[in-house]
Chains A and B, each alone.
Chain A
């Protein structure tokens, strides 16, 4: 009764859009697809919707071969990153469009639309034209249309990416509420995004996608704590996890002429070269620390992002206050060695501060 994909591959040109993707989605669950732009997220969702036919592989839902069913009979709903509504219809007509298409009774339509409007907070906007709404409201209409359909598969393709910062925060909170309360047990919700923070907040099952390939599957917490490869670590952190090439020698770690104590969770690692990973938030300003040169300092919200350089190594540090720095200024930083990751030469995780799951 699940949505099952087996070895789905889609390669319309010389690049893989989907490369041997398999999954098993259960009803009543939230799945997030995390990946950079062009990693195949939209292709993935379009394949499930039926807008694209994969070159090979199987897709089945409720024990039916989904690939043989045309889009308009699949009963899925999709919200695009562009705010796609029907511009010639008003808000109410927009939301009833899919219901009318499915020949649902008038009374039921009325009830469903009212409920959907209430959920997205657009009661009173029924007769507005789409053009008169702001971007956030347009996206709410699109979401209401998808919710009113009560589709068994709900696809959201980076629904917040085109909104400004403040609206995004606000709508993200609401989405979380809708997803946890408003969804029926029957629905499979698939949400794609480039933003690791969104993935962590939505806290569903995560699929990390890169160049059409599934890199890792698992709960959000698991992806955060134990990214299986260097690539996953980069994709699932914003700013990306800092990677430093170095070596372990008994109780010491060295990189770029810096010597720090090896953390206790590294004690089983053999002495050799590693890629050490550390999150931007685990690098702190400290007068006893190592000297790095500032290449760029950006202030975002209440935080400061420092792009630092020493020798060939570049790291990004996240300072949780607004500070002014001059470019090329020297600062001293300290690495929190208890939060260090180690990836081997094949870029696979061998040790994490949260206890390694494999290696």
Chain B
């Protein structure tokens, strides 16, 4: 029974791993092919099946004038916009969430839960509803087609995620922890950053991860709110496509597009699995 269980477990894990890894292997091998190797017969192994070439990767750094599609600048634009917007969203979102979790707000019929719902409702709406207001808003303040404008829009999109995750997280941190900090001589700000924040790292990491993922993969707003001055990676990758699908450069760009998320996942995983809150706070 024990052996059978083990066998089934590992079989499942291996199958799942193949399922996950296969597309990556396919993309890696394709990125080193040229037109000939892609469109002739099915090939997998470099040097044996086909002659590897770096052409697919070179296109990505060549300027359009020399027949390439330069994704270096959009890549760094995307990094900048995602990181800045995520950071600001996490900072503001965490502060908002702490306030919503610990203090009682009353404004007419509005209560804490209504405010939390207001934040989350920003994500319930289909994004297309927001496209025209955003466009008019950014063009009015002259931030259309600029990095700052994109950061502003992404904060609006990402902060609800941060608030949502952190409100839930703070609600599970007992109030008595803050109270003990107050009794031990912390003022409310010190209680927050000396006691509550250090114990909220798992929550912050989850929130940060979601912000980074949602910011990084957004195509819709990057497409609508930018034209020529500024371009983000997802838009540029789509622009790679032409009448003859360049599978090699598409594969290469796909690989470097997911690279940051894979790095984030690996770095974050050990913090998430540490579970340094379990058992301590009951």
Tell yes or no: B195 within 8 A of A by CB. yes
A82-B186 contact, Cβ under 8 Å, with A51-B179, A87-B277 = no
Interface string of A289-326 (1 = CB under 8 A from B): 00000000000000000000000000000000000000
Q: Which residues of B contact A97 (CB under 8 A)?
A: 184
Q: Are A72 and B186 neighbours in the complex by a CB distance under 8 Å?
A: yes
Q: Are B177 and A86 neighbours in the complex by a CB distance under 8 Å?
A: yes
In angstroms, Cα B42 to Cα A246, docked, is 100
Q: Which of B200-245 contact A (CB under 8 A)?
A: none
Q: Which residues of A contact B190 (CB under 8 A)?
A: 72, 101
Interface string of B170-188 (1 = CB under 8 A from A): 0000101101111111110
Q: Which of A73-81, A233-241, A278-286 contacts B (4 or more CB under 8 A)?
A: A73-81
Q: Are A87 and B184 neighbours in the complex by a CB distance under 8 Å?
A: no
With CB as the reference atom, state the residue of chain B lying closest to A103. Answer: B185
A87-B276 contact, Cβ under 8 Å, with A80-B176, A82-B176, A82-B282 = yes
The tally of residues in A whose CB lies under 8 Å from a CB in B reads: 29
Q: Are A98 and B184 neighbours in the complex by a CB distance under 8 Å?
A: yes
Q: Which of A29-79 contact B (CB under 8 A)?
A: 46, 49-51, 70-78
Q: Are A71 and B199 neighbours in the complex by a CB distance under 8 Å?
A: no
Interface string of A123-162 (1 = CB under 8 A from B): 0000000110000000000000100010000000000000
Q: Which residues of B contact A84 (CB under 8 A)?
A: 174, 176-177, 180
Contact for B183 among A51, A82, A130, A131, CB less than 8 A: A51
In angstroms, Cα B280 to Cα A83, docked, is 9
In angstroms, Cα B179 to Cα A49, docked, is 10
Q: Which residues of B contact A70 (CB under 8 A)?
A: 187
Interface string of A75-108 (1 = CB under 8 A from B): 1111010111111100000000110011000000
In angstroms, Cα B25 to Cα A312, docked, is 82
A88-B185 contact, Cβ under 8 Å, with A80-B180, A83-B282 = no
Q: Are A71 and B182 neighbours in the complex by a CB distance under 8 Å?
A: yes
Contact for B279 among A76, A80, A131, CB less than 8 A: A131
Residue from the set A78, A84, A97 with the largest chain B CB neighbour count within 10 Å: A84
Q: Which residues of B contact A75 (CB under 8 A)?
A: 185
Q: Which residues of A contact B187 (CB under 8 A)?
A: 70, 72
28 contacts between A and B (CB under 8 A): A49-B179, A50-B182, A51-B183, A72-B183, A72-B184, A72-B185, A72-B190, A73-B185, A77-B183, A77-B184, A82-B176, A82-B282, A83-B282, A84-B174, A84-B176, A86-B180, A86-B181, A86-B199, A87-B199, A87-B277, A87-B281, A98-B183, A101-B184, A101-B186, A101-B190, A102-B185, A130-B280, A131-B279
Cβ-closest 5 pairs across A and B = A87-B280, A101-B185, A98-B184, A88-B198, A71-B182
